[in-house]
Structure formats: structure tokens, C-alpha cells
Amino acid sequence: MKNRSYMNDRNYFKLLCFRRISLLRMIAVISAFSCSLFVVSASSASPIVNQAGSPMTEQCKADLAKRLNVHADMINVISAKPATWSDTSLGMPQIGGIYAQMMTPGMVVILKCKNSQYVYTTSTKAFRYGGSTDSWAYSLLFTKPVSNEPNLNGDLYQCSLLGTNSVRVASGVSDYYPSNKGMIIIKRRTSRSGHELLYIKADGKGKVTPLYSAFDFGEAAFNDKQDRWTGFVRKSLGDTWCVVVGHIGKDNTDVQLVTLPESVRPVSIAWSGEKVMIITSKDDQNYCFEISPKSGTPVWKEAGVQGFPGMMDYALNKSESLEISQISKNGNWSVEVARVWFTGDRNLLAAINDFILRGNKLLGGRFAYIWGERDDTPAICTVDIATGEVIPFTGGVNGVKPYLYPLRSSPMGLVKGK
């Protein structure tokens, strides 16, 4: 009986082992089959992955050739990397756009024409144009109103030159003044008779630091070292405009106040080395002054307007300068952007039709940011000085200002699948 029981136990053990081995084999077979199904599904869902000569890349090349007015043979594919977008914006959502929330396989395509590279994002059926890769070194800032905000402050946003990829930078903003190296000075209304001045770093993750409080503020700026600030200020209701100069990290009561020259109104303010320079207006004429805040009792000295920071940026080199001018032909207003040689010869880069010019600013010597009106509506565009390409801003928001700082993310860095 003992041997028979032993044999039964032994046979049972063998049977149990056989069943376990069979079960493991079955699991392995099922796993292998499932993996093969996944691979087939993935490859069939995104047939364009890593195919530089795919139909989508050819469509991107044809689109860029049309934009730059060149033959498609002049355009080369630098890369076509796979991406999986979280929605149908393909990594470049427009301000106010509505997109289907679905995983969308596609690519980030980088094309090259002459000495410039351009970015496109695609799905298997569509593409979006992202402009020159160099243009993503700059961005735009704008404010959006907030409903039921008691002091009429809004939210500050940053977006690309195309009006895509917007992100909120700060809240409680009535006006703002982009400064050097990613610093932004913010004006916030605190009551019917008061404002405060604050600042935020572009990479500061929303941390806002107070600078000064007063009845009202005008334009403000940081110096290059980022340790001093200045701005136009009216301390109290009925006071005249002054210039205030302060130090970062010090008590905001430890500031220097300098009254403006007589009978002038504030326009612009900036640092030039250790000097503070201002542009003021009087009788519809602009005047430039400068002071050295470190001196005991600063005295305004008149200076040439051309010496104001940013004014000489339009000299492209020793032989050429950039000219942005309003043109009227047959009752139609347009803006022309041209390179002008010292000889007077003029090379037209771009013509923006039906556009009334209100102002312009150079971004890094490569892009001209232009603002004005079109059909009685605020209009903005950027002109690539290297190619003459006109990049329209389609954000549909007000209070837009150029920002010499990149977005935290761009289509080139949004690849989620490889």
C-alpha cells in the first residue's frame, strides 16, 4: 500500500509538472502571437515613419517650394522622424483652435533650402507648416482678459511667431514689458488708484517677484546684468512723471527717483551700459535724454535719438541697412521691406499689401516684426530678412509684443515616439 501510494504521488507530480509546462508553452505562444499582431498594427498605422521620400515629405517639399517661390529640386529632406501627437493639431495648436483628442501618428520633417531649415509636422494624411527653425528662437507675448476680474487684469501668454503652442506665463497682468535675457516686467493693477511693478523670468515657472508700488507706471526695463531696473512712474495721483531706478534683491523703498525734463511726456526707456536712456515727446516731436544713475544727483543730458538702444539695429552691415516703409499707390496702403545699399540701390524683400504700418522691431537681425492695421483690424506679421518670406500671425488676440526668447517647447522637441 505504501509503494502504491508513493507511485500515485509520483505520477500525480509528473502530471502536475506536465500541465505546468504545457501552460507555460501556451502562454509563450499566445505572447508571441500578440506581439506579432502589435507589430503589424503599428506598422500599418504609420506607414510613413522614417521614410524621407514618402508622399507626405514630398507634399511638404512642394508646399515649401511654393512659399519660397523656388523649384522643389532646391529643397532637401534633412530628417523625417516619427512622432505620435496627442491630438490632431499635430504638435502646433493655434490659439483658440479646437482639435480631436486622439493619438495621431506622424512625423517631424526638417527641410533645407539654401542656408535655411524649415519644420513641418505631419499625420499620415495632413501636414502643418512650422516656419524656419531659426524663428523658434523668438516668440510673442500677449494678454487675454479674465472674466469677472475686479481690477481688469488678464493672463499673460507666450506663443510662436505663427501663433501656435501658446502657454500661460503669468496671471494678474494689466501690461507688460519684455526685457533682456528672458526677463519680463509686469504691471498689475491693485486698485482704482494703485499699481504694482513685478518681474518674472521666462524659465521661472511662474514665480513673480515684486519691484515697486505706485499710482501708475509706464514702460520699464532691466539692464544687461539683470541686477538693476528702471521705469517711468507716477508716485501719486496728480504727481508728474519720474524715472525710478532700483536694484534687484533690495528693499523696494530703496530706489532713486529722477524727475523728467520739463514739459515732456514719457515714450520709451532702456539701459545703455550704466546709463538710463529715455525717449520723450513734446509738441509731436521726439527727444532723447540720458542720465548716469550712479552719480549723486543725476542730471538729464540730451542725446541723439539714433543712439537709443535698438535704433541702430537696422544697419545690417557696413554696406547695407534695412528699410521698412509705408507705401501708398493708387489709394492703397502697403508696407515694403527692403535692403538698401550705401549707394542708394534698393533690393525689395517683401511687400505686405493692404497694411497700415504702426511700428516694427528687429528680432536678432534675422526677422523683422511688423505691426499695424488691416481692414481696421490689428494685424501682425514677421518678415524673414534672409529669404523675404512673410509669416502672418493668425492668433486673433490683442496686445501682442515680440519677445527675444524661445518657447519652452517646439515641434522639433515634441517627438514622442521614435
Q: How many CB atoms lie within 10 A of CB 347?
A: 11
The answer to whether residue 71 sits within a structural domain is yes
Q: What is the pLDDT of residues 8-67, one digit of tens each?
A: 444 444 444 444 444 434 433 333 333 332 222 223 334 444 456 789 999 999 999 999
- For CA atoms 224, 227, 233, 239, give the dihedral sign: negative
Q: What is the pLDDT of residues 54-108, one digit of tens each?
A: 899 999 999 999 999 999 999 999 999 999 999 999 999 999 899 999 999 999 9
The CA distances from residue 332 to 71, 329, 380, in Å, are: 32, 5, 18
CA distance 105 to 152: 42
The answer to whether residue 405 sits within a structural domain is no
CA distance 154 to 110: 36
Percent of the chain at pLDDT > 90 equals 69
CA distance 103 to 94: 18
Q: Which residue has the cell 530706489?
A: 255
CA distance 225 to 205: 21
Q: Structurally, how many domains does the chain consist of? A: 1
The answer to whether residue 130 sits within a structural domain is yes
Element (H, E) at 246: strand 242-247
The answer to whether residue 89 sits within a structural domain is yes
Query: Sorting pLDDT into bands at 50, 70 and 90, what band is 414?
Result: low
CA distance 378 to 381: 11
Q: What is the pLDDT of residues 210-235, one digit of tens each?
A: 999 999 999 999 999 999 999 999 99
The answer to whether residue 106 sits within a structural domain is yes
pLDDT value at 154 more than 90: yes
Q: What is the pLDDT of residue 2?
A: 41
The answer to whether residue 257 sits within a structural domain is no
The answer to whether residue 114 sits within a structural domain is yes
pTM above 0.85, yes or no: no
CA distance 209 to 230: 15
**Which of 364, 370, 361, 311 is closest to 335 using CA atoms?**
370
Tell me which residue range forms the domain holding 102: 55-135
CA distance 398 to 15: 78
Contact 182, 201 (CB under 8 A): yes
The three three-digit cell numbers of residue 366, written as one number: 534675422
Element (H, E) at 129: strand 127-132
Q: What is the pLDDT of residue 20?
A: 43
Q: What is the pLDDT of residues 156-211, one digit of tens each?
A: 999 999 999 999 999 999 999 998 788 999 999 999 899 999 999 877 666 899 99
The answer to whether residue 148 sits within a structural domain is no
